[in-house]
Amino acid sequence: MLSTLKGMLMTLQTSLRKPVTAQYPKQHLPLMERQVGFPALTWDAKVGEPYCVGCMVCVRMCPTQCMSGTMIDNPLHAEGKSTRRKIIEEFEINLGRCILCGLCVEVCNFDAIEMSHEHEISHYARDGRRSDLPVLLEMGKKYQAESNWIAPEVKKAAIAAAKAAATAPVGEETKAVSASAGDVTETKDAPANDTTAGAETKEPPVEEAK
Amino acid sequence: MILLIPLGVVLAALLAIVGLAIGYGGEDVVYILIKSLSLLTILSVVVLSLTWVERKALARIQQRMGPMRVGPYGLLQPIADGLKLLIKEDIMPAWVDRPVYWLAPLAVFIPSFAVWIAVPFTSSLVLTDMSLGLLYVLALSGMSLIGLLMAGWGSANKYGIIGGLRSAAQLISYEIPLLVIAITIAMLAGTLNLTEIAMGQGNTWYILLQPLALVIFLLAGLAEVGRSPFDIFQAESELVGGPFIEYSGAHWSIFFLAEYINTFLVAALVTIFFLGGWSGPLLPELAWFLIKCYSVILVIFWLRGTLPRLRIDQLMAFGWQGLVPLSFLNFLMVAFALFYGWPNWVQTVLSLTTLVAASTFIYMKTASKKVRPTVRLIPAREVRRA
Amino acid sequence: MTEAQRLESVDIMVNMGPQHPSTHGVFRMVLWVDGERIVEAEPHIGYLHRGSEKLCEGELYPQIITLFDRMDYIGNYNMELAICSTVEKVMGITVPERAEYIRVILCELNRISSHMLFYGTMGLDAGAMTPIMYGFRERERIQNLFEATSGARMMHNYFRIGGLREDPPDDFAERVAGILPALEKGIEEGDKLLTYNEVFLARARNVGIINGQDALDYGLTGPSLRASGIPDDIRVIEPYSVYDRFDFDIPLGNTGDTWDRYAMRVEEMRQSIRIIKQALEQMPDDGPTKATGVRSIPRPPAGEVYFRSETPRGEMGVYIVTDGGDKPYRLKVRAPSFANLQALRTMLRGVYVADAVMILGSLDIVLGEVDR
């Protein structure tokens, strides 16, 4: 019976340890930085419209076909306030069907859709948790705020600045740095140049990396 | 509505009996009634507390918390469980054998409760101080066997029938070591009166004289109740409940209660036989009795949390080839010791040696380093070369 | 009249139906029982069939990876590795070193977590209710690491054709090294509790014996085959990824009974920890984690490839026929659990009903890949 006694001793030792239970929902375990929640659409606060232009790449990529959307001519572009010629009008994700794979985020060229950290959105509904554009934008704004989300134009400016600093000769480094700083502010004021050329600017960095 | 008629008839009959008893018997009958009702209440409270203790103890063994929501630290969980069981729908399949199905819970429950009128809690707190208390307790505790068979058969379910037959075999087999050890204790104490057995131990508790008997009695008692590691007939992972499979709601709660009452009975008997009953310094007798009972119960839960369950043929083998010879051997040792008047330490030595020898024998046969199976390890590069 | 003719008895049919606490998923076993002994057993599968192979024909390659995650839903990374390696073989892509090492580390961690779940469910089948809690406590550490790396605890969708979806977090190596001592301790505790316990030995020894030649004939693979004494481990015989650079042992059993199958997996956990330690040492500190020149939606050239890998359940084979488009023409999965189930019938003849549950548990099947 020695093995049984050893086993019993071990269970006795374990019973004296602190339990590992976290009493949900009073206690939430910390979420990792990369934890995937449901997808959400991001909001361009500078211009006051979603980043999403309605290109439908994510809709085509979704394995469960849980998304649908409509693209319209951007009224803000007609007024001259935005450089996006097209904008999303209606967007719906059936969050009940979403498998949280993140493929939509991978293929989006505009950083318009992100996997938020939302995962506690159960409620009584008969519509299968189909979320439309305002709901998704709300989730997106919350995600942008809490995760220090960097806008794509800022990221591109930082990459361009780093490249300029790396390729410029040593003596002219300070000029290049100030020039790139100026570039950054320029691009901040006029995100138009980058967003309209959104599709094109994707290509050169990829070729560069090759 | 239609149920009210037979219910009314039963109530009227009960009242008539009580009235007649009081009328002819006088005050004694009232006292007996009050004592019985209070015993029922105490036992129900004990059983409820046992469910809470079990869940908490198992949870701590598994390094988790157990019930915490219902009431502070989950103390109201048993009440919630009881309420849930009572208001749950009693689903009864259409093809059950109705009289058998309905009577089976009673056949299990009534002996389990009726046993307690002879079990003493303290030197003065016993419902009926029977001079043949031990005989009565053991005789009645064996009667719940028929209830399990009825439950299995009446369910008209193959799992139920298999479970019922398994339980019948198991319970019959483990009655023998239980009875032989009880006889041994009766020999040591010289009486069948449970109060006197407890008090006759004085300062040398029988655990010191007969550790082997304690182990055998505990294991046989566990098998009688149907607790791990002997719970094959209600194995959740195989036969999903055994004879209890078709019972739900209030019916099932009766079986549930009966199981916990029996567990408490086994613990109480171990306390009375081996641990000196209610003797102990400082605290009142009842407190000591309960402390000892609950310690034994914690050991029972500890065993449940640690060990896997034995298969039915292994269980029978363990019973017939292990516990029965050992219990008879123990009986002979005690008989010799009492007849020749050997001092107490001889008994202890004999008992301990037999216990250690038996355990070592089992270990050598199954799990010792020489016989245990091994795993060969072949380095990957050898397989790659080949 | 013979004794048997006078005592005419009928075998009872016991249905361990699709809803059962012990059949590891929706699996139906019809047992013909004579007293307590099983005379004949008939497994029924198909309750979890989702048409994965047909779905794959209509999905782009990154979407197929999500499907494979869900086939063997306990060893997800191993399934992703299988499909990614298959397509990489068709396209002739070399995966960068760092990505290979990270893949191996994640796959081995997944093997440990799968075997821990096995250890727990084996205990439950035997009747012990504590090993599963201990196993899941250790699995939490691994799953937290997975969440930090890929974002999800289970359906990771992290491997891509050509490497990984993104770089792992900067502290990946430290995190992995940090949980290894706790995992080792957890395995030791599990050993003390279950492996050499007398009751467990009585339940598992000499139960469901299958010898080596029968096992090979039935197509049994993985730890169940190695329990019968055949040293067949795809990581060693046909190394894929970077498995030929590691030095580890292959556990082998002696009798091919349930205990051997159980002990194989416990020992494999220890060997996986060895592999992870070596991988952490050998892993390059930086480097690309994605092969260059691979589009996000790859278009493999036309061809046929069969690739096999060693998942925690056994030999997992993926056969793909590509036609140059962005969706496969045909994708067939050789699921190890499906083949392992073939041997169930032989193993179940003549054993007790209680043993049926133990034997099924020891085969460690996952219905998701049996039925796909």
For the stretch C52-102, pLDDT in tens is 899 989 889 889 999 898 888 998 999 999 999 999 999 888 889 999 999
Burial B108-135 (b: 16+ CB within 10 A, else e): bbbbbbebbbbbbbbbebbbeebeebbb
CA C118, CA C114: separation in Å to the nearest integer?
6
Comparing C111 with B363, the larger pLDDT belongs to: C111
The pLDDT score that the predictor gives to residue B235 is 64
Cβ contacts of C305 within 8 Å, gap of 6 or more: C86, C89, C90, C319, C320, C322
- CA angle B84-B90-B92, nearest 5°? 155
Q: Do A21 and B359 touch (CB under 8 A)?
A: no
A28 touches chain C (CB under 8 A): no
* Widest Cα–Cα separation across chain C: 83
3 state SS of A93: strand
- Interface probe with C: pick from B238, B361, B366, most Cβ of C within 10 Å: B238
Scanning every residue of chain B, which has its alpha carbon at the shortest distance from the alpha carbon of A25? B69
Considering only alpha carbons, which residue of chain A is nearest residue B61?
Answer: A15
User: Letter for the amino acid at B305?
Assistant: G
Arithmetic mean of pLDDT over chain B: 84
Give whole-number Cα distances, C139 to A109, B357, C109, C115, in Å: 36, 40, 10, 10
CB proximity list for A83: less than 8 A, separation 6 or greater: A77, A191, A192, A193, A195, A196
Is A204 a residue whose pLDDT tops 60? Answer: no
Residue A193 clears pLDDT 60, i.e. is over it: no
pLDDT at position B386 is 61
Tell me the count of B-C CB pairs closer than 8 A.
140
Per-residue model confidence as pLDDT tens digits over B53-64: 999 998 988 888
* pLDDT of A171 above 90: no
Residues B250-267 have a mean pLDDT of 87
With CB atoms and an 8 Å threshold, state whether C152 touches A63: no
Candidates C55, C170, C198, C203, partner chain A, best to mutate (most A CBs within 10 A):
C198
pLDDT of A176 strictly over 50: no
Calculate the alpha carbon distances from C298 to A139, B181, C292, C302 in Å.
32, 77, 12, 12
pLDDT at position B73: 84
Nearest CA to A95 out of A61, A55, A72, A123 is that of A123
Residue B310 CA to residue B299 CA, distance in Å, equals 18
As beta bridge partners, residue A72 has A87
Task: List the one residue out of B189, B140, B139, B147 whose CA is nearest residue B168.
Answer: B147
Nearest to A210 among C140, C169, C293 (CB): C293
Specify the DSSP class assigned to residue A125: -
Q: Is the Cβ of B65 closer than 8 Å to some Cβ of chain A?
A: yes
Distance of CA C297 to the CA centre of its chain: 28
Angle between helix C61-69 and helix C76-91 axes, rounded to 10 deg: 150
Q: Which of A2, A16, A26 to mutate to test the interface with B (most CBs of B within 10 A)?
A: A2
Tell me whether the omega of the peptide bond preceding residue B229 falls within 30 degrees of 0, making it cis: yes
Q: How far is B235 from chain C (nearest CA, A)?
A: 8
- Cα end-to-end span (Å), chain B: 82
Peptide bond into A19 cis (omega under 30): no
In b/e form, how buried is each residue of B66-100, taking b as 16+ CB within 10 angstroms?
Answer: bbbeeeeebebbbeebbeebeeeeeebeeebeeeb
pLDDT tens per residue, range B138-178: 888 888 888 888 888 888 877 778 778 888 888 899 999 99
Show which subunits contact C, needing at least 3 CB pairs below 8 angstroms.
A, B
Q: Kindly report the backbone phi and psi dihedral angles of residue C311, in degrees, each rounded to the nearest multiple of 5, phi listed first.
A: -85, 170
What phi, psi does A67 have (nearest 5°)? Answer: -120, 155
Tokens of B362: 């089992």
The helix (H) or strand (E) run that includes residue B321 is: none
- Three-class secondary structure of residue B74 per DSSP: helix
- Across-strand partners of C163? C160, C290
Q: What are the structure tokens assigned to B174, written together?
A: 């483990």
Among candidate residues B138, B280, B314, the one with its CA nearest the CA of residue B199: B280
* Cross-chain residue pair A36–C134, CB shorter than 8 Å: no
- pLDDT tens figures, B72-121: 888 888 888 888 888 888 788 888 878 888 888 888 888 888 888 888 88
pLDDT on residue C229: 86
Q: Which two tokens stand for residue C8?
A: 């005419």
Q: Which of A3, A15, A20 sits opposite B61 (nearest CB)?
A: A15
Neighbours of C118 (CB within 10 A): 27
**Cα A150 off chain centre by:** 9
**CA B361, CA B366: separation in Å to the nearest integer?**
9
Q: What residues in B contact C235, CB-CB < 8 Å?
A: 380
- Residues of chain B found within 8 Å of residue C357, distances taken between Cβ atoms: 237-238
Distance CA C324, CA C341 (A): 35
Q: Name the band, by pLDDT with cuts 50, 70 and 90, for residue B367.
A: low
Q: Is the CB of C283 inside 8 Å of chain A's CB atoms?
A: no
Cβ neighbours of A7 in B, within 8 Å: 306-307
Kindly tell me the sign of the dihedral angle through the C-alpha atoms of A1, C112, A18, A28.
Answer: negative
Hey, of C129, C196, C197, C261, which one would you mutate to test binding to chain B, going by the most B CBs within 10 A of its CB? Answer: C129
pLDDT at A23 over 90: no
Instruction: Using alpha carbons, list the distances in angstroms from residue C153 to B37, C62, C83, C180.
Output: 55, 19, 20, 18
Nearest CA in chain B to C264: B375
What residues in chain C have per-residue pLDDT under 50? none
Residue C233 vs residues B270, B347, C306, C313: alpha-carbon distances, Å: 54, 58, 17, 11
Closest of B128, B129, B143, B277 to residue B203, by C-alpha: B277
Q: Which residues does chain C have within 8 Å of residue B60's beta carbon, measured at their own beta carbons?
A: none
What pLDDT does A162 receive? Answer: 86
Structure tokens at C103: 């893949």
- Dihedral of CA B127/B131/B132/B133: which sign? positive
pTM: 0.86
Distance CA B262, CA B265 (A): 5
Q: What is the DSSP letter of A73?
A: E
CA–CA distance, B52 with B76 (Å, rounded to integer): 9
pLDDT digits (tens, 9 = 90+) for B336-347: 988 888 888 888
In tens, the pLDDT along C332-363 reads 999 999 999 888 888 888 888 888 888 988 98
> Count of CB atoms within 10 A of residue C75's CB?
26
Give the residue from chain A lying closest to B68, CA to CA.
A23
Q: How far apart are CA A192 and CA A84, in angstroms?
A: 8
Alpha helices in B115-157 (DSSP H): 133-141, 144-154
SS (H, E, C) chain C: CCHHHHCCCCCEEEEECCCCCCCCCCCEEEEEEECCEEEEEEEECCCCCCCHHHHHCCCCHHHHHHHHHCCCCCCHHHHHHHHHHHHHHHHCCCCCHHHHHHHHHHHHHHHHHHHHHHHHHHHHHHCCCCHHHHHHHHHHHHHHHHHHHHCCCCCCCCEECCEECCCCCCCHHHHHHHHHHHHHHHHHHHHHHHHCCHHHHHHHCCCCCCCHHHHHHHCCCCHHHHHCCCCCCHHHHCCCCCHHHCCCEEEECCCCCHHHHHHHHHHHHHHHHHHHHHHHHHCCCCCCCECCCCCCCCCCCCEEEEEEEEECCEEEEEEEEECCCCCCCEEEEECHHHHHHHHHHHHHCCCEHHHHHHHHHHHCCCHHHHHC
So what's the pLDDT on residue A199?
38
| Closest CA relative to residue C97, chosen from C281, C239, C289 | C289
ipTM for the predicted complex comes to 0.83
For residue A11, which residues of chain C lie inside 8 Å, CB to CB? 130, 193
A184 contacts chain C (CB < 8 A):
no
